[in-house]
Amino acid sequence: MDTVGGFSLVAHLSIIKDPRIDRTKKHNLIDILTIAICAVIANAESWDDIEDFGLLREDWFRSFLELPNGIPSHDTFARVFSRLDPKQLQAAFAAWMQALHRETAGKVVAIDGKTLRRSFDTATGGNAIHMVSAWVAESNLILGQLKVDDKSNEIKAIPQLLDMLAVRGAIVSIDAIGCQKDIAAKIRNKKADYVLAVKKNQPQLFDDIEYIFSVADQAGRTGVIQETHQTVDAGHGRVETRTYQTVADLDLVPASQDWIGAKSVGRVTSMREIGEKKTVETRYFITSLAGSAKDFGRAVREHWGIENSVHWVLDVTFGEDQSRIRKDHAPENLAVIRRIALNLVKQEKSKRSMRGKRKRAAWSNEYLITAFTGN
């Protein structure tokens, strides 16, 4: 099942522990979370926006929420989200998506990080929050996300995120920061394949791959290449030709020998032509795929899609980079709410743009419930 439903989401959110003590509770936690998600779908960006949206739709919300003391104030939303355990919210998000997106075999799961640029708090010296997300290219859905600890980096967060996800049979793609032997082993232990970008952070592996492809480029040595696949994209005066090549004989790449599950290495050569100007970029990869240049190329191309389909949308359409919500856990928790909203809106079947869908949700209760429930 590849559709997202709000009723299933509510069931998963209902198990989150309320951070408030009983005598201070005037509003149900599930009511607060549901109003926030609906408001964010409909373009709300601040606690004041969320309160205003709730007040304007109070009669509608009363048709399916208890609301024992009406719509919570903006201060209540701010306090609850600042105190709510983000790990529980992230786990509920991942469990919801796992329940509704069970089949990952053969699909590319791109893992990539994004910084919430205005989430730094100069008053307390807090750093900007950095989130790592897993995204399924084929269905255009975020499977889960996790905050990178302030004193850590993505290398430690990625295995923790993988522990939250069911990726059996998937092809997990990660940029160079995730090109680590332990991460490769973790992916194989999860019964998935990997395509990992290789840069100078793995110097010997990078040098070995670069060398074997340079040998293959020499006249008379092209047999080193297992397979070659090429794609051409053109539009707006730009032509980009990408050539994907694999070497499956890893005896020729000594540094690959202690990478669990590695079966080939790959090279992507991208030539971009704009008018008479040409630029060429080369990237290297290590992968547990058997050497199919077409499969390797699909994984690389689909990984690049996370920038436009997730990061760009969150910044431009949801205003994530401009958000000044900074107190305690609030920015991290609101980031999860945005991604829940993004998944719900993406799964609504109409042909409208993301911006158009969100405007329609702000105007129509009927449309909003369709987006929220998937029905």
As a three-state string, the secondary structure of 5-30 is: CHHHHHHHHCCCCCCCCHHHCCCCHH
In this predicted structure, what is the pLDDT of residue 222?
Answer: 59
Stretch 7-11: mean pLDDT, rounded? 81
Determine the Cα–Cα distance for residues 101 and 217; give it in Å rounded to an integer.
43
Per-residue pLDDT tens over the stretch 286-319: 999 998 999 999 999 999 989 888 989 999 899 8
Residue 86: closest CA among 25, 31, 129:
129
Instruction: Report CA torsion sign: 94, 99, 104, 108.
Output: negative
Stretch 27-32: mean pLDDT, rounded? 96
Check whether 50 has a pLDDT greater than 90. yes
Percent helix / strand / coil, the chain, rounded to 5? 45, 20, 30
Contact 312, 353 (CB under 8 A): no
For residue 157, CA distances in Å to 147, 192, 330 come to 7, 18, 20
Reduce the DSSP state of residue 140 to 3 states and report it. Answer: coil
Q: At what angle do helices 29-41 and 74-83 cross, to 10 degrees?
A: 110
Check whether 217 has a pLDDT greater than 80. yes
Place of tokens 């694999």: 246
In this predicted structure, what is the pLDDT of residue 120?
Answer: 52
Check whether 103 has a pLDDT greater than 90. no
Stretch 211-231: mean pLDDT, rounded? 82
Check whether 236 has a pLDDT greater than 80. no
Determine the Cα–Cα distance for residues 213 and 323; give it in Å rounded to an integer.
45
In this predicted structure, what is the pLDDT of residue 366?
Answer: 93
Q: At what angle do helices 330-347 and 354-363 cross, to 10 degrees?
A: 100
- How many contiguous H segments (helices) and E segments (strands) does the chain have? 14, 9
Mean pLDDT, the chain, rounded, equals 89
Give the whole-number percent of the chain exceeding pLDDT 70: 92
Determine the Cα–Cα distance for residues 318 and 86; give it in Å rounded to an integer.
20
In this predicted structure, what is the pLDDT of residue 97?
Answer: 87
Determine the Cα–Cα distance for residues 367 and 128; give it in Å rounded to an integer.
35
Residue 190: closest CA among 152, 249, 134:
134
Determine the Cα–Cα distance for residues 300 and 304; give it in Å rounded to an integer.
7
Amino acid 219 reads A
Per-residue pLDDT tens over the stretch 113-163: 888 765 555 555 556 788 899 999 888 899 998 888 754 578 888 999 999
Token pair, residue 33, equals: 């979370």
DSSP state of 204: H
Stretch 273-284: mean pLDDT, rounded? 92
Per-residue pLDDT tens over the stretch 54-87: 999 999 999 999 999 999 999 999 999 999 999 9
Between 234 and 185, name the one with better pLDDT.
185
Determine the Cα–Cα distance for residues 295 and 154; give it in Å rounded to an integer.
26
Instruction: Report CA torsion sign: 315, 321, 327, 331.
Output: positive
